[in-house]
Structure 1
């Protein structure tokens, strides 16, 4: 693999990001669904690649034909397949860099209700998934019980988490889980937007929203994904002078430091396990833990250092988010473009069962418990957690934007506070990363019991603590 091949693969990837944007601008349905261009570009690359176009043309023109691999060579596909696992480290390392950390009291007061609801939903996905694995997938399809974790990995974690877990799946002897997780992540985003908009329309008709719904909340340009001239803001602040170091380069360097801190933690945990509980119990878990949740911890530690010593405020959050956004676009496009359709086809029934069960649990949990657990503005706040539980955080933000376009409720602020405690554990955090190795090492029953207890804790805190506040008010 030469540098020229890698560079050319990146150029082609960039073109398909633009292709995805053009598709969205051209198709009103995709605008109404607010689908990211990276998803559309990923599907376009998948169709024009070896798995669709290549498989159609190879029988006609021969395996040696240029068209046997679609528009892309095997080298391009190989480069793309490696990118999701790399980009996820950048995304998670960037989560908290540039954010001022609020007090725990403020986080609990504002984000506590949504934290309890999200905690219940996230752990509940493990409960539902493991029950399906134990009762159906393992006995009837001979699928490892660790497949029960795929709902949380694909839905709460999204494409990024699925990509970050790829090496773990391979090391544990279930490489097909990666393609299933990416497929679930794609289903989660699509269904999250569609079902979320349906729930919003039903709530608006039943007057369940605190605010009157504005049918023109999104302008034509917003649906096209284009900012109006009067609303265009700077992508980031120039906190350092370019003759010293380019601001973008400086922020990439900060993210690199966070990832290296995470790598140091990872290697330290592996070494510690090798000389302590590993040989004592003959159970090794840390070897299978991916880097991305530890890179997130590296970002938190770096930000704590910056909070104390960076008196010039050199790190700009908006600039960090641009790097994070680029990484997410690259990750989603390449993950979808290289997903194995053969694996999805082979495991279609298990895949369908997991998808339906995950969607069903999220919808039922929202409809039954959100109103009882969130004391004020329950719909505006709960719909954000529902969106996140179905896919990426951006889905939750999108749904909150529809019901609260002018940020008149505490939904957005509370959602942000919730993330500070929630994301280090679920939705791609330490629990997500450890779930598959722990299930593999200890069996599914202990983890199922633990997940059930955590689900009940989230439910109880929401119902009897935050719900009681609502009753008293």
Structure 2
């Protein structure tokens, strides 16, 4: 009997292939000037190479296993973020910095509403011209741009079970195009800001390690919080993630018994949000018990970084070019309009609302709203090489501020499927939400004066 039939190798081989692709992406970043000039992360290069090799039949990789792996690693990413210890800087914010975080959170929510509106209106328009797109087709641009490939896949797979054929590939396509906007529009944008002298650290040279991706001197990844003779610290941190994963799974199984089947199925697509909330509750509980010293920010950051690299590589590799080609015109038009209007929106309101460090914050926000927080931080690092401004931390904390509004909108985007709402009515609801946020912007501007 063949050994592989006794011990299935598919999942570990898929992880190994993604690892090799990341190594190739890392080497190419270190050697190719074009990739260095645009600060292209290794995971994006790796994903594009993986997609090409898969499509020509060279990679022996299962799309189902790849999508399942990406879904679970995406959940791990958010759980790890929820467990990340709060730094002293977060608790000692000045009033001005707290105001900056509030504006960041509201802008994140406003961009999501804007992208939902763009996607909804253009879907209505395409259907008038006979494209017969699924009602929530355009909403996937928000999942791809605003939330990233993990959520685009997660929601897409959920919608496939509710009748939206090929939703996961459509969502991943939007996410990949979003990365292109973040890098190939975002990097020139920041370079222009520096050239004009708009940033706080204009003209400062970036370290070679940031450009090539290779550290010349070793840096600590974190600190031990448990004695290795009992339990390795990295094992301890992964075990906490496992605990949260099990608690979240149990919670969703309970919801399955209490809620209508369609709504319960949708909540499985929101596993990452429930995981984030339960992880945060666990972290706060450890703080109350004076046990939070066992959480190390460095180790937790390494786990998050590992999961994001695997997630992005796997998500791009999982795209089906055949499906993309079927919807190429709607995907291209919705992406271009969203990418450009998102930039104009952030530039206008960012300059209007923030008093200091506005361009560092604008750069980071655009990178995050078209890619992930990782691409946002890349753009912040270019504008602010020493992280002297609060822009980097504002991105992370602002996401928490935006969470209630994001949660509301993620429920609303399912209304055409679960509640039978007309797409036009659903889009008008997003316009109402955006209008309320803009009114809040007006109040903030009045107080600023």
TM-score for the superposition, normalised by structure 2: 0.90
> Which secondary structure state, in structure 1, belongs to the residue aligned with residue 284 of structure 2?
helix
**2:413, 2:426 within 8 Å by CA — same for their partners in 1?**
no
1:198 paired to 2:188:
yes
C-alpha distance in structure 1 between counterparts of 2:277 and 2:374, whole Å:
21
> Corresponding residue for 1:285?
263
Q: Which runs of 5+ in 1 are unaligned?
A: 55-69, 279-283
Change over 3 Å in CA distance of 1:324–1:211 after alignment to 2: closer
Change over 3 Å in CA distance of 1:7–1:415 after alignment to 2: closer
> Corresponding residue for 1:61?
none
> Corresponding residue for 1:59?
none
Residue 79 of structure 1: CA displacement?
A: 2.9
Q: Name which of 29, 38, 60 aligns with 1:73.
A: 60
CA offsets, 1:136-185, max 9 Å, x none?
A: 24652101110121111000111111122242122111132211211111
Q: Name which of 422, 439, 447 aligns with 2:426.
A: 447
Task: Report which stretch shifted further, 255-264 or 291-300.
Answer: 255-264
> Which secondary structure state, in structure 2, belongs to the residue aligned with residue 201 of structure 1?
helix
Q: Which runs of 5+ in 2 are unaligned?
A: none
Where do 1:385-464 residues align within 5 Å?
385-423=365-403, 426=406, 430-431=407-408, 433-442=410-419, 443=421, 444-464=423-443
C-alpha distance in structure 2 between counterparts of 1:304 and 1:47, whole Å:
44
> Which secondary structure state, in structure 2, belongs to the residue aligned with residue 13 of structure 1?
helix
> Which secondary structure state, in structure 2, belongs to the residue aligned with residue 118 of structure 1?
helix
Change over 3 Å in CA distance of 1:380–1:9 after alignment to 2: closer
Change over 3 Å in CA distance of 1:342–1:417 after alignment to 2: same
1:20 paired to 2:1:
no
> Corresponding residue for 1:40?
45
C-alpha distance in structure 1 between counterparts of 2:247 and 2:131, whole Å:
41
> Which secondary structure state, in structure 2, belongs to the residue aligned with residue 165 of structure 1?
helix
**2:200, 2:357 within 8 Å by CA — same for their partners in 1?**
no
Where do 1:52-91 residues align within 5 Å?
53-54=56-57, 70=58, 72-73=59-60, 76-91=62-77
> Corresponding residue for 2:157?
167
**2:204, 2:385 within 8 Å by CA — same for their partners in 1?**
no
**1:97, 1:302 within 8 Å by CA — same for their partners in 2?**
yes
> Corresponding residue for 1:343?
323
1:189 paired to 2:189:
no
**1:375, 1:469 within 8 Å by CA — same for their partners in 2?**
no
Residue 436 of structure 1: CA displacement?
A: 4.4
C-alpha distance in structure 2 between counterparts of 1:86 and 1:138, whole Å:
38
**2:30, 2:214 within 8 Å by CA — same for their partners in 1?**
no
Q: Name which of 73, 85, 94 aligns with 2:80.
A: 94
> Which secondary structure state, in structure 2, belongs to the residue aligned with residue 335 of structure 1?
helix
Residue 312 of structure 1: CA displacement?
A: 6.0
Change over 3 Å in CA distance of 1:470–1:312 after alignment to 2: closer
> Corresponding residue for 1:234?
220
Change over 3 Å in CA distance of 1:377–1:241 after alignment to 2: same
Residue 77 of structure 1: CA displacement?
A: 4.8
> Corresponding residue for 1:311?
291
1:251 paired to 2:229:
no
TM-score for the superposition, normalised by structure 1: 0.85
C-alpha distance in structure 2 between counterparts of 1:435 and 1:40, whole Å:
34
> How many aligned positions are there?
436
**1:285, 1:437 within 8 Å by CA — same for their partners in 2?**
no
Residue 423 of structure 1: CA displacement?
A: 4.5
Moved over 6 A (4+): 103-107
C-alpha distance in structure 1 between counterparts of 2:266 and 2:393, whole Å:
35
